[in-house]
Amino acid sequence: MLRTLEDPPPVLFSLGDLSLLDRPAVAIVGTRNATSYGLRATATLARAAGEAGVTVVSGMARGVDAMAHEVALGTAGGTIAVLGTGVDVPYPRENAALHARVAARGLVLSEMLPGAPPHAGSFPRRNRLVAALADVTLVVEAGVRSGALITATIADSLGHLVGAVPGPIDSAASRGSNQLLRDGKHVVAAAEDVIALINLTPRGRAVSLRRSPDALALPEGDEGVVLAVVRDGPRLPDELIAATGLSPSRLAAAVGALGEQGLAGQDASGWIRVLAGAGE
């Protein structure tokens, strides 16, 4: 994944579990000066990703990054911290204990020599590694000139999916993330949206992020046709029309019937997905 960069690192130093690099990954990034809303959203999304077996990647800055690492550490997916210092140099110093926990139970990476202190250019270079290592980059809160937006821009240039959490229009911390949404990036308005984005990536499709699709018995008629598609991953209506051959009206009727049965439905972002608890 790093070879897709124009300037891939010639070497990486690591502390921890390298097997985390083999899992689907989401980068959760944002402002160092996160609001209480931003921290709550970060915790919710990092927990959802980690519990689905998705690794959370971030840059171990204070604020959004630190919260993402902290929450993901206790999940099946685990977490990867990419540093703008030597791999053995906690930064900021207030994250020293978090650095030790990630090194012991997750993975810490850096292209800088061990012992190297931070400098002005090291953090943008770190951001390109975060973007390359993650299948999906999610911006929770970010100003208009932030490192999180740099990460999102690099991820977009690599062809990776980019999403953002909507924020208040009068919040400086949300101006950058709202700008991403205005520019057409994916809306992440619920924990399920993170898994939906991962399911659209090659690595996400290659593993089971939910229960086995066979656990869902298919109903008859159009509902069964629709459920057969969305049990392999959420779809937008246009994608379902193309995949099933149903007309828009028949698709709407089928989705409505599936919703009444508690099997599938359309979320606020427009994705049609299997509902939590279906088939259990």
Q: What is the pLDDT of residues 186-202, one digit of tens each?
A: 999 988 899 889 988 98
What lies within 8 Å, CB to CB, of 132 at 6+ separation is: 1, 2, 4, 5, 8, 154, 155, 158
Domain boundaries, the chain: 2-205, 213-274
For 254-280, the pLDDT digits (tens) are 999 888 888 888 887 788 988 755 554
Does 211 have pLDDT greater than 70? no
- The pLDDT confidence band at residue 220, using thresholds 50, 70 and 90, is confident
Instruction: For residue 33, list its beta bridge partners.
Output: none
Q: Which 8-state DSSP code applies to residue 73?
A: T
As a whole-number percent, the residues of the chain with pLDDT over 70 amount to 94
As a whole-number percent, the residues of the chain with pLDDT over 90 amount to 68
Rounded to whole angstroms, the Cα distance separating 105 from 165 reads: 28
For 115-172, the pLDDT digits (tens) are 999 988 899 999 999 999 999 999 999 988 889 999 999 999 999 999 999 999 999 9
Rounded to whole angstroms, the Cα distance separating 136 from 160 reads: 6
Q: Mean pLDDT, to the nearest integer, of 220-228?
A: 88
pLDDT of residue 54: 95
**For residues 208-232, b (16+ Cβ closer than 10 Å) or e, as one string?**
ebbeebeebeebeebbebbbebbbe
pLDDT of residue 112: 96
H or E element: which one contains 26? strand 25-29
Q: Mapping DSSP to helix (H, G, I), strand (E, B) and coil, where does residue 23 land? A: coil
Token reading at 84: 């703008």
- Domain 213-274 maps to which CATH number in 3.40.30.10, 3.30.360.10, 3.40.50.1100, 1.10.10.10? 1.10.10.10
- Domain 2-205 maps to which CATH number in 3.40.50.450, 3.50.30.10, 3.40.190.170, 3.40.1550.10? 3.40.50.450
Q: Mapping DSSP to helix (H, G, I), strand (E, B) and coil, where does residue 222 land? A: helix
Question: CA nearest 95: which of 55, 143, 58, 150?
Answer: 58
pLDDT of residue 244: 87
CA distances 41 to 30, 57, 92, 149, 195, Å, are: 11, 16, 22, 18, 15
Judge whether 13 and 86 are in contact, CB under 8 Å: yes
Strand order across the beta sheet in which 161-164 lies: 13-16, 107-110, 79-82, 55-58, 25-29, 136-139, 161-164, 186-187
pLDDT mean across residues, the chain: 90
Does 209 have pLDDT greater than 80? no
Separation of first and last alpha carbons in the chain: 36
Rounded to whole angstroms, the Cα distance separating 155 from 229 reads: 28
For the entire predicted model, the pTM comes to 0.75
Q: Mapping DSSP to helix (H, G, I), strand (E, B) and coil, where does residue 173 land? A: helix
Q: If 0-12 CB within 10 Å is exposed, 13-18 middle and 19+ buried, where does residue 130 land?
A: buried
Give the number of residues written for the chain: 280
Rounded to whole angstroms, the Cα distance separating 139 from 101 reads: 24
Q: Fill in the amino acid letter for 276.
A: A
